[in-house]
């Protein structure tokens, strides 16, 4: 069952096409990673899902309802944090949860509020005003507000922003637990690719408002194709040799170093080719990660 | 809707800024009351200079009812600025803080949010007015006692009997609430346009000052637009304190000189409230939340 | 001119005399007034000044010989002609410090009234000259016109009813001249109020009256001086 279905959605701000003909689908129970550099259209898309921004064209369905016609019903089942954790500085963490509990039709008991505070690790600072909180604490409170009404779809825009390594790890564990144990559908965006790689089952890569790639991580990261970083006895010469031959098709345009996206069985041939041309191969480093994939895609587009 | 209103009221009354207006009103009223208590005689002598030449005025002229009238004259011109401080911040303040996206992604329509916030701001406005009424009327009645209201207007004097005054104040405060709600709705409209706090607050204050000047200038050119300006009507609470006279020039107790003027003003003010709030709803509905 | 001469001659004779010169009619009026030592009267007061809007007010009037008078509005603010109320017939005649000059007969409201002018013989009194219109048959004063030293002129007209025997009026009307009334808009904060109604109230009529209609008198029951 698809929880989110986005069909050919565009959003233009004047002449700027923030999102351009975007379509994707998120299935129930997926942790769906939304990847893109700053300004790629991630936040605009997320805001459109939450009806904060009206699409210029296209349609969005969530839980089978169009967001325009069933806005309130749809939003009742969504918990979200959007970009920065902006909250009311003059209210305490507990007051925030108590206030936002009022805005939900589901009954949220004081016990639920206490549980949520524990879940996001703010039980000791519950009565402190938010103006005394660090960015990480605010981010955790934002997540607490998003989870308070036990939504079936959770949208987290850059949830690990401002968190220390321990905080990042806690959030990652929380997301994985929510997906596995509670069967939540989670859409998580980030520009920190390693984060997504560790959390998401599916990814969508956005660049300049357009979809570059979408699918399960395993499929996208083709095991038959490796991204390798070459270290040679003479890198400039090696680059010239590669560019002149058939291996040039595998070359990734990178500022420094020689990167190739190459089927693993061709690596010995490449080695032979370089040695014959008088350049020795010192090291072949595999870079087969999401980050490399992302960089490969965006660099080709650039 | 009820939950939005209680959500907003909780925030309003937890903000330190809210109490600036309450404090400012209390300070102003207490200072004026203190001044009039200490040196009210010379103030009333000054006002009654022309009258004292011909007539002996016997009784407690400077009583609580007159003090309240003096206070309202002075304060109801400035309270709109204090109302603007909160009303003009209701939407733009949230946009500035970044919390608007949190609110607008809850299961309520933007119309519900705007109306809920407007009602909350209106409740704040009315609570402020009740605070003003308590200090200006009841505290003055307690400190200065009560007697007939000897009201010195620009061209004539109205003497309203003691037991004919209180209902006029009730009417005046109800009228003033319409005036202040017009300011609340204007602040709200400004607030729906901007994404920062200062702009709409200054904008609302400037609009009030600008239109008040147009309303008070007796220039024929402006007379054409005057009847349509809300500022022309905001001060018509004073009409509750003018009284009809019969053919024998006896004042008719319980009467109001110009009921039609009050009705017209209430209609103009109500029309402004509806117009401003509707515009705020439309603008907010169409807006993309980018903050 | 003739009048002036007459007054001058009379004044001359007056200074020759050691005591106030009285007119028989004035004496008759005084005798009638002497019947009343004190009274408390209830009535309604109407202030009729072009720039004042006031309703009828209930008043109590206290009087005690020789010339103590107080008008008290029941729980309210009262507007009385400045210095005028003290110039009732009682206070004029009870001082005995005057010279009375008969000035003939004048018709007044269908009655033929004797006109008598009073000139104070005591310089300390605050009135300069007073004219009385008296019904010779009843010894009731129907009108007085008094010029004061400081507060202009006052006309007092009286009507009589059930207390006429005691010389007490049922209605008394103080007439006096009023000055302009105007307060700057900056003080009243009535900006931009260019109403026709407000302009209509700009005073043309400079005459003001205060009318007291008495409903009942309580006579000679004793009043302490502290009332005044």
> A245 to chain B, minimum CA–CA distance in Å?
49
> Which pLDDT belongs to residue A162?
72
Q: Which residue has the higher pLDDT, A289 or B125?
A: B125
What are chain A's partners, defined as 3 or more CB pairs within 8 angstroms?
Answer: B
In which band, very low, low, confident or very high, does the pLDDT at C12 lie, cut at 50, 70 and 90?
very low
Q: Which pairing describes strands A153-157 and A185-190: parallel, antiparallel, or unpaired?
A: parallel
Q: Which residue has the higher pLDDT, B54 or A80?
A: A80
Note whether residue B291 is domain-resident: no
> B215 to chain C, minimum CA–CA distance in Å?
6
> Which chain B residue shows the shortest CA-CA distance from A106?
B107
Note whether residue C3 is domain-resident: no
β partners of residue A227:
A261
In which band, very low, low, confident or very high, does the pLDDT at A139 lie, cut at 50, 70 and 90?
confident
Note whether residue B40 is domain-resident: yes
Distance of CA C52 to the CA centre of its chain: 20
| Helix (H/G/I), strand (E/B), else coil: B164 | helix
Within chain A, residue ranges assigned H as helices are 42-49, 71-76, 93-102, 110-119, 135-147, 165-182, 193-199, 217-220, 235-244, 267-276, 290-301
Q: What tens digit of pLDDT does each residue of C32-84 get? A: 888 888 888 899 888 888 788 888 878 888 888 777 788 877 777 888 777 65
pTM to 2 decimal places: 0.81
| B276 touches C: beta carbon within 8 Å | no
pLDDT mean over B93-122: 91
Note whether residue B120 is domain-resident: yes
User: CB under 8 Å to A24, separation ≥6 — which residues?
Assistant: A4, A6, A204, A211, A214
Looking only at Cα atoms, what is the longest distance across chain C? Answer: 66
Q: Looking at the predicted structure, is the pLDDT value of residue C202 above 50?
A: no
Q: Which residue has the higher pLDDT, B283 or C210?
A: B283
Domains held by chain C: number = 1
**Partner-chain contact B154 C73, CB within 8 Å:** no
Give chain B positions within 8 Å (CB) of A50.
101, 104-105
Which of A113-122, B116-125, C199-208 is predicted least confidently?
C199-208
Within chain B, residue ranges assigned H as helices are 2-14, 18-47, 49-54, 64-75, 79-87, 92-97, 100-103, 110-133, 140-144, 166-193, 198-216, 220-223, 230-234, 259-286
Note whether residue C1 is domain-resident: no
DSSP state of A125: G
Q: Nearest to residue B227, comparing CAs of B199, B290, B269?
A: B269
Domains held by chain B: number = 1
Report the alpha-carbon distance of residue C49 to residue C78 in Å, rounded: 13
**Partner-chain contact B158 C53, CB within 8 Å:** yes
Structure tokens belonging to residue B195: 């994404």
CATH number of the domain bearing residue C221: 2.50.20.10
> Which chain A residue shows the shortest CA-CA distance from B104?
A52
Report the alpha-carbon distance of residue C88 to residue C73 in Å, rounded: 18
Q: Looking at the predicted structure, is the pLDDT value of residue C192 above 80?
A: no
pLDDT mean over B162-190: 92
Note whether residue C14 is domain-resident: no
Q: Between the CA atoms of A117, A119, A123 and A128, what dihedral angle is there, to the nearest 10 degrees?
A: -50
Q: Looking at the predicted structure, is the pLDDT value of residue C16 above 50?
A: no
Q: Between the CA atoms of A256, A258, A261 and A263, what dihedral angle is there, to the nearest 10 degrees?
A: -160
Q: Nearest to residue C211, comparing CAs of C81, C70, C121, C38?
A: C81
What are chain C's partners, defined as 3 or more CB pairs within 8 angstroms?
Answer: B
Q: Which domain does C183 fall in, by range?
A: 25-227
**Closest Cβ–Cβ partner in C71, C176, C192 for B217:** C192
> Which pLDDT belongs to residue C18?
38
In which band, very low, low, confident or very high, does the pLDDT at B132 lie, cut at 50, 70 and 90?
very high
**Partner-chain contact B56 C83, CB within 8 Å:** yes
> C55 to chain B, minimum CA–CA distance in Å?
4
Which of A215-229, B151-165, B263-277, C191-205 is predicted least confidently?
C191-205
CB pairs under 8 A between B and C: 140
Q: What tens digit of pLDDT does each residue of C118-137 get? A: 888 878 777 888 899 999 88
Q: Nearest to residue C89, comparing CAs of C144, C129, C13, C18?
A: C144
Kindly report whether the peptide bond that precedes residue C73 is cis, defined as omega within 30 degrees of 0.
Answer: no
Q: Nearest to residue B89, comparing CAs of B44, B120, B62?
A: B120
Report the alpha-carbon distance of residue C83 to residue C80 in Å, rounded: 8
Report the alpha-carbon distance of residue B69 to residue B77 in Å, rounded: 13
> Which chain A residue shows the shortest CA-CA distance from B287?
A53
Note whether residue C69 is domain-resident: yes
**Closest Cβ–Cβ partner in C75, C82, C187 for B54:** C82
Q: Which domain does B131 fall in, by range?
A: 2-286
| A91 touches B: beta carbon within 8 Å | yes
User: CB under 8 Å to C150, separation ≥6 — which residues?
Assistant: C83, C126
**Partner-chain contact B154 C202, CB within 8 Å:** no
**Closest Cβ–Cβ partner in C52, C82, C194 for B156:** C52
* DSSP element (H, E) containing B147: none
Q: Which residue has the higher pLDDT, C187 or A277?
A: A277
Which of A117-131, A209-223, C114-128, C148-162 is predicted least confidently?
A209-223
| B153 touches C: beta carbon within 8 Å | yes
User: CB under 8 Å to B46, separation ≥6 — which residues?
Assistant: none
Which of A139-148, B8-17, B247-256 is predicted least confidently?
B247-256
> Which pLDDT belongs to residue B33?
92
Mutate to test the interface with A, among B6, B102, B116 (most CBs of A within 10 A): B102
Looking only at Cα atoms, what is the longest distance across chain A? Answer: 74
User: CB under 8 Å to B73, separation ≥6 — which residues?
Assistant: B238, C188, C189
**Partner-chain contact B14 A50, CB within 8 Å:** no
> C82 to chain B, minimum CA–CA distance in Å?
4
Give chain A positions within 8 Å (CB) of B105.
50-52, 75, 78, 80, 82
> A104 to chain B, minimum CA–CA distance in Å?
7
Q: Nearest to residue B145, comparing CAs of B259, B37, B277, B245?
A: B37
> Which pLDDT belongs to residue B146?
87
> B135 to chain C, minimum CA–CA distance in Å?
21
Q: Looking at the predicted structure, is the pLDDT value of residue C17 above 50?
A: no
> B59 to chain C, minimum CA–CA distance in Å?
4
Note whether residue C11 is domain-resident: no
Q: Nearest to residue B32, comparing CAs of B78, B62, B70?
A: B70
> Which pLDDT belongs to residue A288?
59
> Which pLDDT belongs to residue C87?
64
Average pLDDT, chain A: 85
Q: Looking at the predicted structure, is the pLDDT value of residue C15 above 80?
A: no
**For tokens 């700053």, what's the residue?**
A38
Instruction: Please give the sequence-ordered ranges of beta strands (E in DSSP) within chain B, or none if there are none.
Output: 55-58, 149-152, 157-160
* DSSP element (H, E) containing C18: none
Note whether residue C39 is domain-resident: yes
Give chain C positions within 8 Å (CB) of B211.
none
| C184 touches B: beta carbon within 8 Å | yes
* DSSP element (H, E) containing B190: helix B166-193
User: CB under 8 Å to B91, separation ≥6 — which residues?
Assistant: B100, B114, B117, B188, B191, B192, B280, B284
DSSP state of B139: I
pLDDT mean over A74-89: 88
Average pLDDT, chain C: 77
Report the alpha-carbon distance of residue C141 to residue B214 in Å, rounded: 59
pLDDT mean over B196-202: 88
Chain C residues 127-146 with a CB less than 8 Å from chain B: none
Is A262 within 8 Å of A225 (Cβ atoms)?
A: yes
> A121 to chain B, minimum CA–CA distance in Å?
21
**Partner-chain contact C82 B56, CB within 8 Å:** yes
Report the alpha-carbon distance of residue B38 to residue B36 in Å, rounded: 5
**Partner-chain contact A90 B98, CB within 8 Å:** no
> Which pLDDT belongs to residue B122?
93
């Amino acid at each position: 069952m698809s929880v989110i279905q986005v069909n050919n959605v565009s959003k233009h701000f004047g002449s700027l096409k923030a999102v351009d003909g975007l379509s994707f689908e998120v299935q129930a129970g997926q942790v769906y990673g939304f990847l893109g550099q700053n300004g790629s259209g991630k936040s605009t898309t997320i805001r459109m899902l939450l009806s904060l921004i009206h699409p210029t064209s296209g349609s969005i369905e969530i839980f089978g309802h169009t967001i325009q016609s069933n806005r309130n019903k749809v939003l009742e089942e969504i918990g979200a944090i959007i970009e920065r954790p902006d909250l009311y500085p003059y209210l305490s963490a507990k007051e925030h949860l108590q206030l936002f509990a009022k805005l939900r039709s589901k009954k949220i008991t004081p016990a639920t509020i206490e549980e949520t505070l524990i879940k996001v690790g703010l039980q000791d600072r519950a009565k402190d005003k938010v103006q005394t909180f660090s960015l990480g604490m605010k981010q955790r409170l934002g997540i607490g507000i998003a989870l308070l009404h036990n939504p079936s779809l959770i949208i987290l825009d850059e949830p690990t922003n401002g968190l220390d390594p321990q905080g990042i790890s806690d959030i990652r564990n929380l997301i994985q637990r929510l997906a596995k144990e509670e069967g939540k559908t989670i859409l998580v965006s980030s520009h920190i690719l390693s984060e997504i790689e560790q959390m998401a089952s599916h990814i969508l890569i956005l660049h300049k408002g357009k979809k570059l790639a979408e699918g399960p991580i395993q499929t996208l990261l083709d095991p038959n194709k490796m991204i390798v970083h070459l270290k040679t006895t003479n890198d400039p010469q090696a680059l010239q040799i590669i560019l002149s031959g058939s291996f040039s098709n595998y070359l990734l345009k990178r500022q420094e170093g020689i990167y190739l996206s190459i089927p693993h069985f061709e690596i010995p041939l490449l080695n032979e080719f370089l040695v014959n041309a008088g350049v020795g191969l010192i090291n072949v480093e595999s870079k087969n990660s999401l980050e490399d994939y992302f960089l490969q895609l965006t660099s080709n587009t650039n | 809707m009820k939950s939005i209103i209680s959500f907003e009221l909780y925030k309003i009354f937890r903000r330190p800024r809210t109490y600036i207006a309450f404090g400012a009103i209390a300070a102003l009223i207490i200072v004026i009351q203190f001044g009039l208590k200490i040196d009210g005689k010379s103030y009333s002598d000054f006002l009654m200079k022309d009258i004292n030449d011909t007539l002996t005025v016997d009784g407690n002229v400077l009583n609580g009812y007159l003090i309240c009238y003096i206070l309202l004259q002075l304060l109801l011109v400035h309270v709109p600025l204090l109302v603007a401080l909160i009303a003009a911040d209701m939407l733009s303040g949230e946009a500035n803080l970044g919390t608007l996206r949190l609110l607008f992604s809850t299961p309520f329509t933007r119309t519900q949010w705007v109306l809920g916030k407007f009602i909350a701001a209106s409740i704040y406005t009315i609570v402020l007015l009740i605070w003003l009424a308590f200090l200006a009327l009841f505290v003055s009645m307690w400190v200065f006692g009560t007697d007939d209201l000897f009201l010195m207007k620009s061209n004539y004097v109205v003497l309203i009997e003691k037991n004919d005054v209180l209902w006029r104040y009730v009417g005046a405060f109800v009228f003033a609430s319409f005036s202040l709600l017009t300011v609340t709705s204007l602040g709200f409209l400004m607030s729906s346009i901007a994404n920062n706090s200062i702009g709409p607050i200054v904008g609302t204050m400037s609009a009030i000052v600008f239109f008040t000047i147009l309303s008070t200038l007796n220039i024929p050119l402006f007379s054409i637009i005057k009847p349509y300006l809300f500022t022309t009507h905001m001060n018509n609470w004073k009409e509750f304190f003018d009284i009809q006279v019969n053919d024998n020039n006896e004042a008719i107790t319980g009467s109001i000189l110009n009921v039609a003027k009050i009705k017209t003003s209430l209609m103009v003010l109500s029309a402004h409230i509806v117009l401003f709030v509707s515009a705020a709803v439309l603008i907010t509905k169409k807006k993309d939340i980018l903050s | 001119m003739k009048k002036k001469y007459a007054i001058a001659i009379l004044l001359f004779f007056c200074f020759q005399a050691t005591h106030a010169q009285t007119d028989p009619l004035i004496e008759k009026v005084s005798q009638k007034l002497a019947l009343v030592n004190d009274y408390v009267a209830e009535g309604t007061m109407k202030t009729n000044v072009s720039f004042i809007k006031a309703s009828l007010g209930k008043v109590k009037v206290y009087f005690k010989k020789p010339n103590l008078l107080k008008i008290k509005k029941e729980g309210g603010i009262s507007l009385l002609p400045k210095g005028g109320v003290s110039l009732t017939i009682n206070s004029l005649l009870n001082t005995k410090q005057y010279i009375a000059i008969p000035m003939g007969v004048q018709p007044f409201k269908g009655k033929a009234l004797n006109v008598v002018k009073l000139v104070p013989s005591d310089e300390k009194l605050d009135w300069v000259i007073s004219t009385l219109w008296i019904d010779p048959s009843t010894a009731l004063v129907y009108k007085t016109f008094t010029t004061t030293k400081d507060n202009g002129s006052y006309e007092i007209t009286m009507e009589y009813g059930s207390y006429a025997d005691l010389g007490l009026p049922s209605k008394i009307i103080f007439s006096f001249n009023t000055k302009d009334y105007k307060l700057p808009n900056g003080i009243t904060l009535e900006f931009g109020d260019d109403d026709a109604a407000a302009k209509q109230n700009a005073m043309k009529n400079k005459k003001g009256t205060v009318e007291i209609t008495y409903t009942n008198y309580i006579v000679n029951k004793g009043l302490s001086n502290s009332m005044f």
